[in-house]
Chains A and B, each alone.
Chain A
């Protein structure tokens, strides 16, 4: 206590005289009888009331949450350890350096294989896709968030989100049926116009199924995801920053360069890097479009090229012992590549947050020349390094005479050109995506006739019309349902652990593991279940094996979305419950989880929609059948993505019609799930009523 001022002057406090207390406590006995009898009936014995009673429930529940977290840790540990042991087996059998060699003949004697060729193909194809896709996606996002009228923007936003959910097998179908036949001509033009650039140079007749074609399909695939995230980021630009720019007389484009782009820079870059990660791990669309060759390619327009994921999907069924190990090793290389890319994305995003002092700071590449790294919204800063520079003003007649009718021609032209480019980017993004949707709907509706939804392919030759996808639809629903049944309870418990209990090494490791799993290429999940469940444990191909692979993919989605939702529950509600003397576990189960439930359910539905379209993992483990198998635990089972893949790669028109119809069915199921999830989120949004 500070000496000057006597801290407490309490006439009846503990320091006060005893009798004072006795006097005041006297009325207590009187009025205990005066108390209304109503609530009195619910009293517990006051003497014993303050000692422990709630501990066992709390202990059990916390134990369950912790157990789920540990389970996840062990599961991922097992996956990595198992894959590494398999890979080491193949690497030690390899007679050359597995990182540097171009050949892929692991099952020969002596075994000769290396990942250099496929890794090169993966990197180049993905980078090419990124070079085309990223600028278009960012431009489209700018158009939707800044240029489109508000109402249209909302609709477009939903459309982009929904397109991001279109499964890759549908892009592959579009690529092989629509794009590839048109690629010959496009390639010729590219070769003629850009032939002076070595990579675009090609002497022979350009092949339709080239790295160029695969890159374009990949670019279209990453468009929606990059655009969706960039749009979110742009929409979050603080109004004050934008108004500060406008208030200084900035044109729309100047405003975007001053306020929107610098604010969203790190978010957009991390979206692009995430799109890159997705392109790296993409399997089925590339496998469908490329005609794989084992030769090293240096020209985009040559036939051939290969990627790690596509190589696994195509080769695994034909591989023997060492071959499988070699493919697993290549899968691990892919895993490490995506991991690094995802971490890069997260690092960029986080750097943006840290350097952000209430708003994202940093310099635009052009502006850094002006030498300022100050927060963008500072009006002085805006004044200093833009076209509204006082020095310019003197040379600028419009500015000098303070014309109110127009800005300087140069600025107006720049603004116009920028608006035009952004709108063009939007159109470029929309065209292929619209083409995909239109083709799926029109071709799909044609194949939809007859008994497509009720019949299987049993006793139907691929070259014959008729037949249907009932066996595949049933299989996909069962597999996704089973996967959700396993992933949801574990995932939600892990999320509860992270939000309500997590601290220390376990929480940190689980957060890390979930990060890693988010970037797990789906083919690697399939690879794991194939090598462990089927090859090591000796189980046969089955729907359930597919469920297990899908479960691995769904777990991080459920954990991450549930975690976000639980974090959104106001702390005041937990406190209100604690203040009523409710133990923690009941607070979590009866107050926190119900409050977060609509969000958790939405996340689960989006997760189910996402795994339903996964082709690569089921391709490896569910087996192939054209008959109805209702039992996911025994025998090969159909699967809708696999059905589409199989029909699309047949050389018969009836089969291709069935592929379109299957794609329409799959998209419809996914869209319905998505819409239902969004409706639920909107309907349960607090404050709507």
Chain B
């Protein structure tokens, strides 16, 4: 059940430093939304506020609202742990658990949550690995360590691990930045498939990638070092790249800065 994300009037802080200033945007279900912008503009921070990973960093806090289908993620009685089961995340560097096998990595989300479905687990692992386009490559070595895979395979393993807990939303923080072009292509194909089931938000430095995989694109920018990041505009990807309404967006996309 892919869900809609509504961010309204959201600011994020690291201690006394305001990293994000008053952002509002909407992410529609079953779409891919790309966050682009120069380094340090806060796009990863915004992404991490969407599953309350932001507050894992000591001193970090968030103001404003993030609605997931009308439930405020920062509202009373909301457990950040439960939020993260609903909003999955894939990181910049592939980070499979080094002590676990490929199989255990995929099953980790459920097992670590104390759920045991002995019979179903095999199905779930296979389903998730197929969902991540990795099954054919690893089905004969499920008991081998996940760290033994190539970088691109590791990243797909992390995607399988994320979708195994059946999230509603999948956040990807520069998922291809540590990968070679072939592996990047594999992940991009996968994103196109996953779109059928999940709401996907992807942070990327690669504008071609944003153009290739996303339906909508949000452009973030900062006025200067030490200034908070701001959302400049969000629009259909085709329009952002062909005919953005903001000058700053055009400058960035045409490579005039950033």
Chain A residues, CB < 8 A from B110: 42
CA distance A570 to B147 in the complex (A): 14
Shortest CB-to-CB span from A89 to chain B, Å, is 47
Q: Which of B1, B99, B163 contacts A32 (CB 8 A)?
A: B1
Report A103-147 CB contacts with B as 1/0, cut-off 8 Å: 000000000000000000000000000000000000000000000
Shortest CB-to-CB span from B102 to chain A, Å, is 14
CA distance A595 to B145 in the complex (A): 13
A204 in contact (CB, < 8 A): no
- Choose among A13, A41, A581, A591 the residue with the greatest number of B CB atoms under 10 Å from its CB: A581
A42 touches B21 (CB 8 A): no
A40 touches B4 (CB 8 A): no
Report A568-584 CB contacts with B as 1/0, cut-off 8 Å: 00101111111111111
CA distance A28 to B21 in the complex (A): 31
Given A7-B231, A40-B166, A55-B79: A578 and B84 interface contact (C-beta under 8 Å): yes
Given A16-B26, A38-B127, A590-B112: A575 and B53 interface contact (C-beta under 8 Å): yes
Given A10-B233, A11-B235, A578-B56: A43 and B166 interface contact (C-beta under 8 Å): yes
Chain B residues, CB < 8 A from A689: 145, 148
B14 in contact (CB, < 8 A): no
Chain B residues, CB < 8 A from A299: none
Given A10-B26, A10-B233: A580 and B162 interface contact (C-beta under 8 Å): yes
Of the 9-residue stretches A46-54, A351-359, A401-409, which lies at the interface with chain B? A46-54
B163 touches A39 (CB 8 A): yes
Of the 9-residue stretches A19-27, A64-72, A539-547, which lies at the interface with chain B? A19-27
Report B59-75 CB contacts with A as 1/0, cut-off 8 Å: 00000000010010100
Shortest CB-to-CB span from A324 to chain B, Å, is 48
Total A-B residue pairs with C-beta atoms closer than 8 Å?
208
B114 in contact (CB, < 8 A): yes
B79 touches A580 (CB 8 A): no
B56 touches A10 (CB 8 A): no
B85 touches A49 (CB 8 A): yes
A583 touches B81 (CB 8 A): yes
Shortest CB-to-CB span from B134 to chain A, Å, is 15
CA distance A35 to B166 in the complex (A): 11
Chain A residues, CB < 8 A from B236: 11
CA distance A12 to B23 in the complex (A): 14
CA distance A578 to B83 in the complex (A): 10
Chain B residues, CB < 8 A from A591: 97, 99, 108, 112
Q: Which of B29, B111, B231 contacts A28 (CB 8 A)?
A: B29
Of the 9-residue stretches B35-43, B116-124, B201-209, which lies at the interface with chain A? B116-124
Shortest CB-to-CB span from A50 to chain B, Å, is 5
CA distance A332 to B192 in the complex (A): 71
B165 touches A581 (CB 8 A): yes
Shortest CB-to-CB span from A599 to chain B, Å, is 12
A575 touches B73 (CB 8 A): no
Given A1-B21, A9-B233: A594 and B99 interface contact (C-beta under 8 Å): yes
Chain A residues, CB < 8 A from B117: 42
A31 in contact (CB, < 8 A): yes
A39 touches B97 (CB 8 A): no
A580 touches B166 (CB 8 A): no
Shortest CB-to-CB span from A21 to chain B, Å, is 7
- Choose among B26, B68, B168, B245 the residue with the greatest number of A CB atoms under 10 Å from its CB: B26
CA distance A11 to B231 in the complex (A): 13
CA distance A688 to B230 in the complex (A): 45
Chain A residues, CB < 8 A from B164: 39
CA distance A7 to B71 in the complex (A): 26
Q: Which of A8, A581, A582 contacts B24 (CB 8 A)?
A: A8
Q: Which of A9, A36, A41, A582 contacts B112 (CB 8 A)?
A: A582
CA distance A51 to B162 in the complex (A): 20
CA distance A14 to B91 in the complex (A): 28
B158 in contact (CB, < 8 A): yes
The interface on chain B, measured as residues whose beta carbon lies within 8 A of the other chain's beta carbons, has a size of 80
Shortest CB-to-CB span from A74 to chain B, Å, is 27
Chain A residues, CB < 8 A from B3: 28
Shortest CB-to-CB span from A592 to chain B, Å, is 10
CA distance A289 to B96 in the complex (A): 57
B2 touches A31 (CB 8 A): yes
- Choose among B97, B99, B127 the residue with the greatest number of A CB atoms under 10 Å from its CB: B99
CA distance A580 to B157 in the complex (A): 13
A197 in contact (CB, < 8 A): no
A686 in contact (CB, < 8 A): yes
CA distance A435 to B20 in the complex (A): 68
B81 touches A581 (CB 8 A): yes
Given A35-B197, A39-B124, A591-B97: A28 and B30 interface contact (C-beta under 8 Å): yes
CA distance A35 to B127 in the complex (A): 13
CA distance A34 to B196 in the complex (A): 9
CA distance A5 to B247 in the complex (A): 9
Report B149-177 CB contacts with A as 1/0, cut-off 8 Å: 00000000010011111101000000000
Chain B residues, CB < 8 A from A567: none
Q: Which of A11, A50, A570 contacts B78 (CB 8 A)?
A: A50
CA distance A10 to B168 in the complex (A): 23
B124 touches A25 (CB 8 A): no
B214 in contact (CB, < 8 A): no
Shortest CB-to-CB span from A579 to chain B, Å, is 4
Which B residues from 225 to 258 make CB contacts under 8 A with A? 230-236, 245-248
CA distance A303 to B110 in the complex (A): 73
Chain A residues, CB < 8 A from B73: 50
- Choose among A5, A25, A577, A582 the residue with the greatest number of B CB atoms under 10 Å from its CB: A582
Q: Which of B7, B124, B161 contacts A38 (CB 8 A)?
A: B124
- Choose among B82, B110, B111, B163 the residue with the greatest number of A CB atoms under 10 Å from its CB: B82
A5 touches B248 (CB 8 A): yes
A10 touches B91 (CB 8 A): no
Shortest CB-to-CB span from A590 to chain B, Å, is 5
B81 touches A42 (CB 8 A): no
Chain B residues, CB < 8 A from A6: 246
CA distance A577 to B112 in the complex (A): 8
Which B residues from 184 to 212 make CB contacts under 8 A with A? 196-197
B99 touches A595 (CB 8 A): yes
B25 touches A576 (CB 8 A): no
List residues of chain A with CB under 8 Å of any chain B CB.
1-2, 5-16, 21, 24-25, 27-28, 31-32, 34-36, 38-43, 46, 49-55, 503, 570, 572-584, 586-587, 590-591, 594-595, 597, 686, 689
5 A-B pairs (CB sep. < 8 Å): A8-B232, A39-B166, A576-B158, A580-B108, A591-B108
Further pairs besides A10-B24, A579-B91, A689-B148: 19, Cβ < 8 Å: A5-B247, A8-B230, A14-B7, A15-B24, A27-B29, A28-B4, A38-B123, A38-B124, A39-B164, A50-B79, A50-B82, A52-B77, A54-B79, A54-B81, A574-B56, A575-B89, A577-B112, A581-B83, A591-B112
